[in-house]
Structure 1
Amino acid sequence: MTTTTPAERHLDVAMSPKDLINIGVFGALYIAVVFAINMLGFVNPAVMLIALVASIVAGGIPFMLFLTRVRHAGMVTIFAIVTAGLLMLTGHPLISFVITIGCALVAEVIIWFGRYGSRRLSVLAYAVYSAWYAGPMMPIFYDRDAYFAGPSMQMMGADYVSQMRTLLSPAVLLAFDVSTIVFGLLGGLLGLRLTRKHFEKAGLA
């Protein structure tokens, strides 16, 4: 099995308008996938956790396809700035934005080591990038009462908030944070498989 992608054929030295378009297009696709699946979380907190896991896996499809367009450093970080910035507009805390950028920088280093062409390192890069999912619920660790008293939580209703308080214990939150890497690996492998099986044949990767 080959360990390279079409991105290995040409490495640009400067970001082009086409690169920015790719960031915008795939950033929008990624947000659409993540947001659509996470909307299921309005049912109840248990479904919310399942939806978060599902969106990590499904998000690997647009992200891995995006990585076939990445030619140089900076593209993943800008992707992160765009997507995390949009999510902040929906109520994500500032710490989530900071964590996302940190994850993107580590992912940048990983794909750089792979010369922007290693399939295996691209999967690892997505797994690391997926750790940003720990960010939105990070305030529950250091300011639990304020988090559940916030406007976005109060809009969900008293029963939802009560269930969420019970479900999201420190142990559950820690387990979820660790699982983001595991499910990120699964999402990366899924995205890689679909990229090789369908998108490359269709000339999209």
Structure 2
Amino acid sequence: MSTITPRPTAPRSVSLRMSPRDLISIGIFAALYIVVVMGISMFGFVSPAVMLVALAAAIVAGGVPFMLFLTRVSHAGMITVFAVITSGVLLLSGHPPVSFVLTVALALVAEVIVRAGGYRSRRLSVLAHTVYAAWFVGPMLPIFYAPDDYYGGPSMRQMGEAYTEQMQALLSPGVLLAFCASTVVFGFLGGVLGARLLRKHFEKAGLA
């Protein structure tokens, strides 16, 4: 993977100051990321098994808008604000608070990674997405420490008793741990997919 070509009109620094252009970029790509992730995840309403497949697909697909967003990141703080917006929306949609906290924490790690590459290393951008995508573990964390509250919560009641029973039967500790580990794999694949699309299409169109 090559490095991103420097842009003299968009200097990169460690400043936390957000310009109007920064805020617009964050807003646009946060909205795009939410639409992609939630749109694919909605297929999980079919069944718990489909849910796991949909989540894996959402992780990979989410790599495209996230990697495109990273080409607009000009300084520290932008990824964190992106995370606050996206996880905040998901919190309002029913995700547990622990998922919000995890997402922001992972965003801080991603900030360090992209900074280490001077905000231009595509390899480290892929790594940043790999780390950030682990937030998909967040919504399921309550199953480990508060399963009764999770399965008896409003979201699961809305899915129906049959769906809840199928989910309890499917999500054994082993399956949950395997899913948690798989977020790293799918996060990496999503980052690679996003990087390749950037190189093949978005850069040619002047979007990256």
Instruction: Tell whether the structures are fold-level matches, with TM greater than 0.5.
Output: yes
2:11 is matched with 10
Aligned mate of 2:109, from 106, 109, 120? 106
1:21 is matched with 24
**Aligned residues, how many?**
205
1:178 CA drift (Å): 1.0
Counterpart Cα distance in 1 of 2:31 and 2:5: 23
Kindly indicate whether residue 43 of structure 2 is the aligned counterpart of residue 40 of structure 1. Answer: yes
- CA deviation digits over 1:101-152, x for unaligned, max 9? 0100000000000000000000000000000000001000001111101111
Counterpart Cα distance in 2 of 1:47 and 1:188: 23
| TM-score where L is the length of structure 2 | 0.95
For residues 117-136 of structure 1, what are the structure 2 equivalents within 5 Å? 117-136=120-139
- Alignment CA distance shift 1:7-1:89 (3 Å): farther
1:159 CA drift (Å): 0.9
User: Which sections of structure 2, spanning at least 5 residues, go unmatched?
Assistant: none
CA RMSD across the alignment: 1.3
1:91 is matched with 94
For residues 189-204 of structure 1, what are the structure 2 equivalents within 5 Å? 189-204=192-207
Counterpart Cα distance in 1 of 2:148 and 2:5: 47
Aligned mate of 1:155, from 155, 158, 161? 158
Counterpart Cα distance in 1 of 2:64 and 2:145: 33
- Alignment CA distance shift 1:184-1:169 (3 Å): same
- Alignment CA distance shift 1:189-1:135 (3 Å): same
Counterpart Cα distance in 2 of 1:163 and 1:26: 35
SS at match of 2:159: coil
Structure 1 residues 104-113 or 172-181, which shifts more? 172-181
Q: Percent sequence identity over matched residues?
A: 65
1:10 CA drift (Å): 2.2
User: Which sections of structure 1, spanning at least 5 residues, go unmatched?
Assistant: none
Question: Is the CA contact 1:57–1:186 (under 8 Å) kept in the aligned structure 2?
Answer: yes
